[in-house]
């Protein structure tokens, strides 16, 4: 009989101990309604800032790739421009040498067949300007162009190509600079959103209600500023 009584009493004590633990957990996890809204706002700001920070980091990486591609394109265009410029210089040298030979032969009253042979050796671009120059009667027309190189018809295609490639290289370089600036702007917003995570996250570590509210408000303001900046940036 005493054993049954002791057993019932022990069970009652265990139930009492369990009830005390339950009350302690409830007391520990209890949050007053105003504080609950602060916690909800902090959690919302944390979630949004995490998403925004991830997006900013992703865009910064994408714009870094755009920058690298643009710089690579600019380098390739500059290399092609140099090759085209070298070709233009070589073509000009050939034209000058052949014209000098023709001029020397013509000045000595050379054979017509020799002159015709030299003219057939002219490059097509120079031949067009040469024929136009001959049409101006350069021997008698002292006011006309002295050489075919002064004619509007004389155009070295390789030089034009070199100039176009230089312009494309400059344009690609400008694109790279803009991409670099945009990537830096996204990095800045990533840092800004990281500060939002700091303010909203640390707000839960303070016991004072107004301290938590102030930190959450700071985080929300920083998030708003970062979001406004983010909306002004181009997307890769």
Burial of 95 (0-12, 13-18, 19+ CB in 10 A): buried
Determine the Cα–Cα distance for residues 117 and 107; give it in Å rounded to an integer.
16
Determine the Cα–Cα distance for residues 96 and 99; give it in Å rounded to an integer.
5
26 within a domain of the structure (yes/no): no
24 within a domain of the structure (yes/no): no
180 within a domain of the structure (yes/no): yes
Determine the Cα–Cα distance for residues 206 and 203; give it in Å rounded to an integer.
6
pLDDT given for residue 8 in this prediction: 43
Residue-range definition of the domain harbouring residue 117: 31-232
**Tens of pLDDT, residues 108-138:** 776 788 888 888 989 999 999 999 998 988 8
48 within a domain of the structure (yes/no): yes
**Tens of pLDDT, residues 65-76:** 999 999 999 999
Determine the Cα–Cα distance for residues 127 and 113; give it in Å rounded to an integer.
17
150 within a domain of the structure (yes/no): yes
Reference 120, options 130, 105, 135, 110; nearest CA is 130
Q: What is the pTM of this model?
A: 0.65
Determine the Cα–Cα distance for residues 130 and 122; give it in Å rounded to an integer.
9
Instruction: Please state the domain count of the chain.
Output: 1
pLDDT given for residue 206 in this prediction: 63
Contact in structure between 112 and 132 (CB atoms under 8 Å): no
CA count, 13 A, side-chain hemisphere, 67 = 14
3 within a domain of the structure (yes/no): no
Contact in structure between 163 and 36 (CB atoms under 8 Å): no
6 within a domain of the structure (yes/no): no
CA angle (37, 40, 41) in 5-degree steps: 85
Q: pLDDT tens for the chain, 236 residues: list them.
A: 444 444 444 444 444 455 554 454 444 444 455 567 767 777 888 888 888 889 999 999 999 999 999 999 999 999 999 999 999 999 999 999 999 988 888 877 767 888 888 889 899 999 999 999 989 888 777 788 888 999 999 999 999 999 999 999 999 999 999 999 999 999 999 888 888 887 777 776 666 667 777 877 887 888 888 889 888 999 88
Contact in structure between 204 and 212 (CB atoms under 8 Å): yes
At residue 38, φ and ψ (nearest 5 deg) are -65, -45
Task: Tokens 């600079």: give the residue.
Answer: 177
159 within a domain of the structure (yes/no): yes
Contact in structure between 148 and 132 (CB atoms under 8 Å): yes
How many separate helices (H) and strands (E) can be counted in the chain?
6, 0
């Amino acid at each position: 009989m005493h054993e049954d009584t002791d057993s019932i009493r022990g069970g009652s004590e265990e139930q009492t101990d369990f009830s005390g633990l339950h009350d302690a957990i409830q007391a520990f996890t209890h949050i007053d309604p105003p504080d609950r809204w602060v916690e909800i706002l902090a959690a919302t700001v944390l979630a949004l800032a995490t998403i925004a920070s991830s997006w900013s980091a992703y865009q910064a990486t994408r714009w870094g790739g755009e920058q690298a591609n643009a710089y690579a394109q600019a380098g390739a265009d500059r290399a092609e421009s140099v090759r085209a410029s070298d070709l233009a210089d070589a073509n000009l040298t050939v034209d000058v040498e052949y014209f000098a030979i023709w001029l020397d032969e013509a000045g000595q009253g050379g054979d017509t067949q020799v002159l015709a042979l030299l003219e057939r050796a002219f490059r097509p671009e120079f031949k067009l300007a040469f024929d136009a120059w001959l049409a101006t009667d350069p021997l008698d027309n002292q006011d006309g162009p002295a050489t075919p190189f002064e004619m509007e018809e004389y155009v070295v295609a390789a030089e034009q190509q070199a100039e176009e490639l230089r312009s494309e290289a400059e344009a690609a370089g400008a694109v790279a600079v803009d991409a670099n600036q945009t990537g830096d702007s996204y990095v800045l917003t990533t840092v800004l959103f990281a500060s939002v995570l700091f303010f909203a996250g640390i707000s839960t570590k303070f016991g004072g209600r107004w301290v938590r509210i102030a930190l959450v408000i700071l985080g929300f303001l920083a998030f708003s500023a970062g979001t406004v900046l983010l909306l002004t940036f181009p997307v890769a």
